[in-house]
Amino acid sequence: MIDEVVENIILQDGRYFAYETLPAQYDQRADSAVQCVSLLDNNSKITVRSGKLIIFDRVLNQDEMDKVKNIWLILLNQELKI
């Protein structure tokens, strides 16, 4: 699996939110990245955190955004990324 990497993106209020795993929760994506780096440098002591960005195709009002965030984060047991 290959992720699309975007270094710069224009975001508009009401059209996006980002989330990540809870602090004590296992993050497979981050763990895999750490393992890959350790294959290249066995002495590396890095920390990786991953998250995802959800972008909507239209502007949501605050009530709609709150509802979507609450349902999304509860279903996935995630926290909002600030």
How confident is the model at residue 82, as a pLDDT?
A: 60
pLDDT in the model for residue 80: 66
**Following CA atoms 24, 3, 13, 71 in sequence, which dihedral angle do they give, to the nearest 10 degrees?**
-50
Cα separations (Å) of 35 from 41, 46, 49, 62? 10, 10, 13, 40
Encode the chain (82 residues) as per-residue pLDDT tens digits: 677 777 888 888 878 888 888 888 899 999 999 999 999 999 999 999 888 888 899 999 999 988 988 888 777 776 667 6
C-alpha–C-alpha distance, residues 8 and 13, integer Å? 16
> Which pLDDT score, from 0 to 100, does residue 39 have?
94
